[in-house]
Amino acid sequence: QGFKDNLHAVFCLAENAVGPRATRPDDIHVLYSGKTVEINNTDAEGRLILADGVAYACKDLGADIILDMATLTGAQGIATGKYHAAVLTNSEEWEKACVKAGRNCGDLVHPLVYCPELHFSEFTSAVADMKNSVADRDNTPSSCAGLFIASHIGFDWPGVWVHVDIAAPVHAGERATGFGVALLLSLFGGASEDPLLNLVSPLGCDGDSPAEEMERDSKRRRLV
């Protein structure tokens, strides 16, 4: 799509199969970030490779904007429903941009509470830097799951980190929806040479954003 900036896609994939090297309760893993994780829930496995993915993007790729997207928690559907993905980010600007991008392209998102100083304690471990699952499932588990990932680049990291939990909107019945493709194109469209993506992107422009212009101009919105 004519992107002008360096754009990397890191696929965090693992086979979730039983074997002699499978993760067991009470195992302690050293992740790519160098931090240790006590396993207290073997079903919270996806965040382990996502944590390695964001750490790799930070350490090896030198990314200044990191967005991770995954079907991470069943609680996402409870928190934001089956039509809106959940977004968690360390940047208020990017939180607003994600919401606008979702409205522009149809892949709707809604913010989760970002409050690591209150919520990350859910992962406290006596034998490691953290556990891999929360102590209290009633205390915003989708937000906490995202914080687990962020902790492996550090809450003091100066770059932009965005986490999008797409567990519910990626399927409708037994069919996949393709959710997320349009969202990424819209969100990062300002870094593209494609005029349509420039139009729908809420970032990378001066003055009124294209999204705000479209809200005032119903004819243009219909054309888009």
pLDDT tens-digit series, residues 165-178: 999 999 999 999 99
Q: What tokens appear for 75 in the block?
A: 């609680």
- The full set of domain ranges for the chain reads 27-200
Res 205 pLDDT > 60 = no
Q: Place 219 in a pLDDT band, splitting at 50, 70 and 90.
A: very low
pTM exceeds 0.75: yes
The predicted model gives 59-87 an average pLDDT of 97
Question: CB burial class (10 A; 0-12, 13-18, 19+) of residue 37?
Answer: buried
What percent of the chain shows pLDDT beyond 70? 91
Superfamily of 27-200 according to CATH: Zn peptidases (3.40.630.10)
| Residue 221 pLDDT class (50, 70, 90 cuts) | very low
Model pLDDT for residues 3-27, shown as the tens digit of each residue: 888 899 999 998 888 888 899 999 9
Instruction: Name the phi and psi angles at 192, rounded to 5.
Output: -110, 155
Element (H, E) at 176: strand 175-176
Residue 138 confidence (pLDDT): 95
